[in-house]
Structure 1
Amino acid sequence: MKIITTRSRPDFDDLAACFAAKRLYADHEIVIEGKPEEKLERFINETAPHLFFFHKFEELELESVSSLIVVGTVSENQLPTALAPFLSRCKKILFDHLGTAASENWDKVISGNYGAAITLLCRELRDNNVKITTEEATFYAVALYRKTLNFSLFTTMPEDLNIGAWLLASGASLEKVLKYQKFSLNRDQRRHFQKLIDNTRTITIKGVEVGFSEIKLKTVPQGIFELIEKLWITLGYDNLIVFIRTSRDTFIAGRTRYREIDFSRIFSGARLSSYPNFTLAYYQEVDFDILKERIIKSLRENILSFVQVREIMSSPVRTVLSEMPVKEAARIMENTGHSGLPVIGNNRLVGLVTYDNVRKAIKHGLKNVPIKEIMQTNLVTIKATDSVSEAARKMVENGSGRILVLDKGILVGIVTKSDLMRGVLTKKSQEFETLRLETSKVTDLIERRLEPDVATMLRFLGIVGSEVNMPTYVVGGFVRDLLLDRKNYDIDIVVEGDARVFAKTFSRYFEVTCVEHKEFLTTSMFFRNGLRIDVATARTEYYEEPAVLPNVEVSTIKKDLYRRDFSINAMAIKLNQEEFGLLLDFFGCKNDLEKGIIRTLYPLSFVEDPTRILRAIRFEQRFNFKIENRTLELLKKHVSQNYLERVTGQRLRDELEKIIEEPDPLKAIKRMEELRVFEHLFPDSVVDDEALRMLDRYFRRKKSAKPKPVYILAMILLKNAPERSLDYVIKRYGFPRKFPDWIKRAVNISEKLKRTVQSGEQLTLRTFFYLLKKPEPEVLSFIDATLDDKASKLLHDYLERIERIKPRINGKLLIEKFGLKEGPEIRKILEELQLAKLEGLHTEEEEKFVKELLGSG
Structure 2
Amino acid sequence: MKIITTRPKPDFDDLAACFAAKRLYPDHEIVIEGKPESKVEKFIEEIAPHLFFYHRFEDLELESVSSLVVVGSIADNQLPVPLAPFLERCKKTLFDHLGTAVADRWDKVVSGNYGTSITLLCSILREKRLEVTPEEATFFTVALYRKTLNFSLSTTTPDDLTIGAWLLSLGASLEKVVHYQKFSLTREQRRHFQKFIDNTRVLTIKGVEVAITEAKFKTMPRGIFELIEKLWFTLGADNLIVFMRVGKGVFAVGRAKYSEIDFSEIFSGSKLSVYPNFSLAFYANTDLESVKEKVFKSLRENILSFVQVREVMSSPVRTVVSEMPVKEAAKIMENTGHSSLPVIGNGRLVGIVTLDNVRKAIKHGLKNSPVKEIMQREVLTVKATAPVSEAARKMVENGSGSVLVLDKGILAGIITKSDLMRGVLTKKSRELENLKLETSRIVSLIETNLEPDLVTMLRFLGIVGNQIGMATYVVGGFVRDLLLGRKNYDIDIVVEGDARYFAQTFGRYFEVTCVEHKEFLTTSIFFKNGLRIDVATARTEYYEEPAVLPNVEMSTIKKDLYRRDFSINAMAIKLNQEEFGLLLDFFGCKRDLEKGVIRTLYPLSFVEDPTRILRAIRFEQRFNFRIEEHTLELLKKYVAQNYLERVTGQRLRDELEKIIEEPEPIKAIKRMDELGVLNHLFPHSLVDAETLSMLKRYFNRKRSSSPKPVYILAMILLRESSPEKLDSIVKRYGFPKKFPDWIRKAMSISRELKKIIVKGEQLSYRIFFETVRKPEPEILWFIDAFLDEENSKKFQNYLQKLEKEKPKITGSILIDKFGLKEGKEIKKILDKLQLAKLEGLPDDEEESFVRRLLGRD
Taking structure 1 as the reference length, what is the TM-score of the superposition?
0.52
Is 1:786 matched with 2:786?
Answer: yes
CA–CA separation in structure 2 for the residues paired with 1:525 and 1:383: 47
Q: Give the drift of 1:671.
A: 0.8
CA–CA separation in structure 1 for the residues paired with 2:364 and 2:641: 24
What corresponds to 2:619 in structure 1? Answer: 619
CA–CA separation in structure 2 for the residues paired with 1:428 and 1:754: 62
* Structure 1 contact 619–625 (Cα < 8 Å) conserved: yes
What corresponds to 1:669 in structure 2? Answer: 669
Q: Deviations over 1:775-830 (max 9, x none)?
A: 11111111111100111111111111111221222222222332333222222222
Q: Deviations over 1:530-577 (max 9, x none)?
A: 221111111112223222222222111111111111111111111111
Is 1:565 matched with 2:531?
Answer: no
Q: What code does the residue aligned with 2:700 have?
A: R
Q: Give the drift of 1:693.
A: 0.6
What corresponds to 2:745 in structure 1? Answer: 745
Q: What code does the residue aligned with 1:843 have?
A: D
What corresponds to 1:853 in structure 2? Answer: 853
CA–CA separation in structure 2 for the residues paired with 1:579 and 1:381: 38
CA–CA separation in structure 1 for the residues paired with 2:588 and 2:742: 49
Q: Give the drift of 1:414.
A: 11
Structure 1 residues 772 and 301 mapped into 2: Cα distance closer, same or farther (>3 Å)? closer
Is 1:816 matched with 2:775?
Answer: no
Structure 1 residues 385 and 803 mapped into 2: Cα distance closer, same or farther (>3 Å)? farther
Structure 1 residues 429 and 491 mapped into 2: Cα distance closer, same or farther (>3 Å)? closer
Q: Deviations over 1:152-211 (max 9, x none)?
A: xxxxxxxxxxxxxxxxxxxxxxxxxxxxxxxxxxxxxxxxxxxxxxxxxxxxxxxxxxxx
Q: Give the drift of 1:706.
A: 3.9
Unaligned runs of 5+ in 1: 1-287, 316-334, 343-378, 390-402
Is 1:470 matched with 2:470?
Answer: yes
CA–CA separation in structure 2 for the residues paired with 1:635 and 1:477: 21
What are the equivalent positions in structure 2 for 1:338-377 lying under 5 Å apart?
none
Q: What secondary structure is seen at the aligned counterpart in 2 of 1:513? A: strand
Q: What code does the residue aligned with 1:823 have?
A: G
Q: Deviations over 1:402-461 (max 9, x none)?
A: x999999x9799999x99xx99xx999988443355552211111111112211111111
Q: What secondary structure is seen at the aligned counterpart in 2 of 1:434? A: helix
What corresponds to 1:44 in structure 2? Answer: none
* Structure 1 contact 437–587 (Cα < 8 Å) conserved: no
Q: Deviations over 1:594-616 (max 9, x none)?
A: 22111112222212211111111
* Structure 2 contact 815–822 (Cα < 8 Å) conserved: yes
Of residues 771-780 and 807-816 in structure 1, the stretch that sits farther from structure 2 once superposed is 807-816
Structure 1 residues 428 and 291 mapped into 2: Cα distance closer, same or farther (>3 Å)? closer
What corresponds to 1:528 in structure 2? Answer: 528
What corresponds to 1:773 in structure 2? Answer: 773
Is 1:710 matched with 2:710?
Answer: yes
What corresponds to 2:4 in structure 1? Answer: none
CA–CA separation in structure 2 for the residues paired with 1:710 and 1:845: 44
Structure 1 residues 619 and 466 mapped into 2: Cα distance closer, same or farther (>3 Å)? same
Q: What secondary structure is seen at the aligned counterpart in 1 of 2:587? A: coil
What corresponds to 1:435 in structure 2? Answer: 394
Q: What secondary structure is seen at the aligned counterpart in 2 of 1:459? A: helix
CA–CA separation in structure 2 for the residues paired with 1:476 and 1:707: 31
Q: Deviations over 1:677-731 (max 9, x none)?
A: 1111111111111111111111111113642111111111111112332122111
Q: What code does the residue aligned with 1:458 have?
A: L
* Structure 1 contact 567–587 (Cα < 8 Å) conserved: yes
Is 1:591 matched with 2:588?
Answer: no
Structure 1 residues 497 and 763 mapped into 2: Cα distance closer, same or farther (>3 Å)? same
Structure 1 residues 603 and 784 mapped into 2: Cα distance closer, same or farther (>3 Å)? same
* Structure 1 contact 404–415 (Cα < 8 Å) conserved: no
What are the equivalent positions in structure 2 for 1:420-459 lying under 5 Å apart?
432-437=391-396, 440-441=438-439, 442-459=442-459
What are the equivalent positions in structure 2 for 1:84-233 lying under 5 Å apart?
none
Q: What secondary structure is seen at the aligned counterpart in 1 of 2:855? A: helix
What are the equivalent positions in structure 2 for 1:367-446 lying under 5 Å apart?
432-437=391-396, 440-441=438-439, 442-446=442-446
* Structure 2 contact 364–545 (Cα < 8 Å) conserved: no
Q: Deviations over 1:26-82 (max 9, x none)?
A: xxxxxxxxxxxxxxxxxxxxxxxxxxxxxxxxxxxxxxxxxxxxxxxxxxxxxxxxx
Q: Give the drift of 1:292.
A: 13
CA–CA separation in structure 2 for the residues paired with 1:680 and 1:518: 33
Q: What code does the residue aligned with 1:574 have?
A: K
Q: Deviations over 1:137-160 (max 9, x none)?
A: xxxxxxxxxxxxxxxxxxxxxxxx
Q: What code does the residue aligned with 2:492 have?
A: D
CA–CA separation in structure 2 for the residues paired with 1:563 and 1:679: 28
Q: Give the drift of 1:387.
A: 7.4
Q: Give the drift of 1:761.
A: 1.7
Structure 1 residues 381 and 632 mapped into 2: Cα distance closer, same or farther (>3 Å)? closer
CA–CA separation in structure 2 for the residues paired with 1:293 and 1:542: 43
Q: Give the drift of 1:488.
A: 0.9
* Structure 1 contact 565–605 (Cα < 8 Å) conserved: yes
CA–CA separation in structure 2 for the residues paired with 1:805 and 1:569: 54
CA–CA separation in structure 2 for the residues paired with 1:552 and 1:653: 24
CA–CA separation in structure 2 for the residues paired with 1:818 and 1:341: 91
Identity of aligned residues (%): 66
CA–CA separation in structure 1 for the residues paired with 2:365 and 2:715: 45
* Structure 1 contact 437–585 (Cα < 8 Å) conserved: no
CA–CA separation in structure 2 for the residues paired with 1:381 and 1:435: 25
CA–CA separation in structure 1 for the residues paired with 2:780 and 2:843: 29
Is 1:647 matched with 2:647?
Answer: yes
Structure 1 residues 388 and 848 mapped into 2: Cα distance closer, same or farther (>3 Å)? closer
What are the equivalent positions in structure 2 for 1:790-805 lying under 5 Å apart?
790-805=790-805
Structure 1 residues 803 and 705 mapped into 2: Cα distance closer, same or farther (>3 Å)? closer
CA–CA separation in structure 2 for the residues paired with 1:849 and 1:428: 88
Q: What code does the residue aligned with 1:768 have?
A: F
What corresponds to 1:96 in structure 2? Answer: none
Q: Give the drift of 1:631.
A: 1.5
Q: Give the drift of 1:293.
A: 14
* Structure 1 contact 405–414 (Cα < 8 Å) conserved: no
CA–CA separation in structure 1 for the residues paired with 2:754 and 2:315: 79
What corresponds to 1:834 in structure 2? Answer: 834
Which structure is larger by alpha-carbon Rg, 1 or 2?
1
Structure 1 residues 626 and 721 mapped into 2: Cα distance closer, same or farther (>3 Å)? same
CA–CA separation in structure 1 for the residues paired with 2:726 and 2:796: 29
Q: Deviations over 1:319-350 (max 9, x none)?
A: xxxxxxxxxxxxxxxx99577799xxxxxxxx
Is 1:537 matched with 2:540?
Answer: no
Q: What code does the residue aligned with 1:727 have?
A: D
* Structure 2 contact 691–716 (Cα < 8 Å) conserved: yes
What corresponds to 2:225 in structure 1? Answer: none
Structure 1 residues 807 and 705 mapped into 2: Cα distance closer, same or farther (>3 Å)? closer
CA–CA separation in structure 2 for the residues paired with 1:653 and 1:566: 20
What corresponds to 2:763 in structure 1? Answer: 763
Q: Give the drift of 1:484.
A: 1.3
Q: What code does the residue aligned with 1:479 have?
A: V
Q: What secondary structure is seen at the aligned counterpart in 2 of 1:540? A: strand
Structure 1 residues 412 and 613 mapped into 2: Cα distance closer, same or farther (>3 Å)? closer
CA–CA separation in structure 2 for the residues paired with 1:711 and 1:845: 42
* Structure 1 contact 596–626 (Cα < 8 Å) conserved: yes
* Structure 1 contact 496–556 (Cα < 8 Å) conserved: yes
Q: What secondary structure is seen at the aligned counterpart in 1 of 2:851? A: helix
Q: Deviations over 1:293-316 (max 9, x none)?
A: 99x999966999xx9xxxx8999x
CA–CA separation in structure 2 for the residues paired with 1:604 and 1:815: 71
Q: What secondary structure is seen at the aligned counterpart in 2 of 1:721? A: coil
CA–CA separation in structure 2 for the residues paired with 1:448 and 1:467: 27
Q: Give the drift of 1:462.
A: 0.9
Of residues 821-830 and 672-681 in structure 1, the stretch that sits farther from structure 2 once superposed is 821-830
Structure 1 residues 314 and 412 mapped into 2: Cα distance closer, same or farther (>3 Å)? farther
CA–CA separation in structure 2 for the residues paired with 1:733 and 1:637: 24
What corresponds to 1:209 in structure 2? Answer: none
Report which structure shows greater RCO (CA 8 Å, sep ≥6).
Answer: 1
* Structure 1 contact 611–644 (Cα < 8 Å) conserved: yes
Q: What code does the residue aligned with 1:679 have?
A: N
What corresponds to 2:168 in structure 1? Answer: none
CA–CA separation in structure 2 for the residues paired with 1:535 and 1:445: 22
